[in-house]
Structure 1
């Protein structure tokens, strides 16, 4: 892949992305640069990834052909105002922050910048992320392909329309937290009946991993896969009955809806 990639912000998501880019050999390490406010953060990033680092955001903005703003929504306006004079029409600016629309980003930059909104998730840290990409109209096919390659280096990436970005936040961006809660609950139940906790986490987590893989690889409807486990009068259908009685589906749907509404209000 040609061109340079810069990160403003070097938190967990940026590190996950850097790890994927380097593991997949998308570009040379000297074509990567990251900035952070803390000298310690950039020092640790330099040691971990062997890349250029700085505490000067404008230095990264000048350096990068693909500029990734890996900062929280509350800092986005401050960062854009700091770097916008260093961003020209040839650069592609990628954002990770929920709630910041393409229109808002363009207005804040004060010019017609090539933009790609994204919504990745934390499984990127283990090469199993899921990312939605939403480009502005002036992003060309070659630039979009490059950005897609970056995000595909640590998982799966798909193009979505902008009105779906907040939905993506609910269904994949934030949902690892819901899944972790489910795994913890499964393990707690096993511990309650005598299983050592470390072993309980392994049984629960591997089962969730395998179940997700079955959905992706078989192409079968999740309900069909559920029915395959539920023998007549058996243990599984008894557990499913209790989950339905206690409102598992409704609770999950309401949680995702609340997340989407919150994202739309940012």
Structure 2
């Protein structure tokens, strides 16, 4: 579970840093745009406040449910988190090619008109979007299997944010250490595996609630890799692996990865041009 939290915070933080970094560097390199800097950081602060408010609202809303109603809510959040992760992957695949150009065009219009609220809104949306997705992801993961020690959650989130800052710094250096195209390919694959894990967990919760039938295992690989063990449990939480899956679980794998293949054909190849082709993005 802590690995899931770590990875989501890492990836979401980098996406937020990407947008804010592009905006900040453009303002830095254009003297006429210097008034926009306070709007940029004001938007970042407003986005963080919006994400915190969402977290407080979501937790308060969830705690108002009890018993079976809370189980229904938690199952729904797990499946919503699955959808959001898949949406994030393909949104970045679609928009990432022109992200830098689109942001800079918006900044140029703001500079020409002298109206810097557009910069504020761009930063607000970037931070609030990634922050709100992180909140939903994390709550969905906790619903899938709560962490016994809350300190472990905080430490995993802090480690993810720290690694995001370090990764972003490496990405700024260009292809010498880690290229944007390689980063997006690797993290996209890991995100989809994580989404599959959440989807399988959500299906398992639907089975326990009686919405889907429970069947006998089709096979048992527990002798090779037990999903209740330390290593197997970590792999299961990150990929959706089950040592002894029933028919419904196997069907969930087929449905998930079949859907991903269809979406992949629809959206085309992973983002490898545009924003990620810059030797030094920001």
TM-score, length-scaled by structure 1: 0.31
Structure 1 or 2: more strand by fraction: 1
TM-score, length-scaled by structure 2: 0.29
Structure 1 or 2: more helix by fraction: 2
* Higher-RCO chain (CA-CA 8 Å, sequence separation at least 6): 2
